[in-house]
Amino acid sequence: MTDQPALTHIRADGSAHMVDVSDKAVTSRRATAQAVVITRPDVVDAVIAGDLPKGEAISTARIAGILGAKQTSSLIPLCHPLPLSKVSIDISGDGDRLTVLATVATTAVTGVEMEALTGASVAALTLYDMIKAVDKFAVITDILVLDKVGGKSGDWSRS
């Protein structure tokens, strides 16, 4: 059996709590996450062209993703509120897939992986909302952290 790191959000009695990060060093931190919307190729083409019945989906999803990243600590109970210095949401289409990439940066005492995941998820949910009238079978999948930079545990990349 390998040694697993202790869960920092769990007390000895098993109850959840918000981790005390007051003694951690302030460092630059960045994380990138993705979400994928699978739909029909003609719907992807319509999204890229801005021709959906509900309007221009990419700019709407981009703004929604930025707002989502900024609200992470209000949505995820044990996340610390962070001063975000950058949130970028990029959306690309290929075949039957729309890929959302959310990159979030801060200079703080804890990382921004959850903010990147939330930004990517909210942008994907917004795309879904805008395409559901033309494809009720669309699916959101592959929500994951691609990489992170900074912090005590150092840099990490999925690739």
**Which residues are catalytic, by number?**
129
| Residue in 112, 81, 67, 84 with CA at minimum distance from that of residue 18 | 81
How many other C-beta atoms are found inside a 10 Å radius of the C-beta of residue 22? Answer: 6
CB 108 within 8 A of CB 72: no
| Residue in 60, 67, 66, 72 with CA at minimum distance from that of residue 98 | 60
Reduced to 3 states, what is the DSSP secondary structure of residue 16? strand
CB 151 within 8 A of CB 111: yes
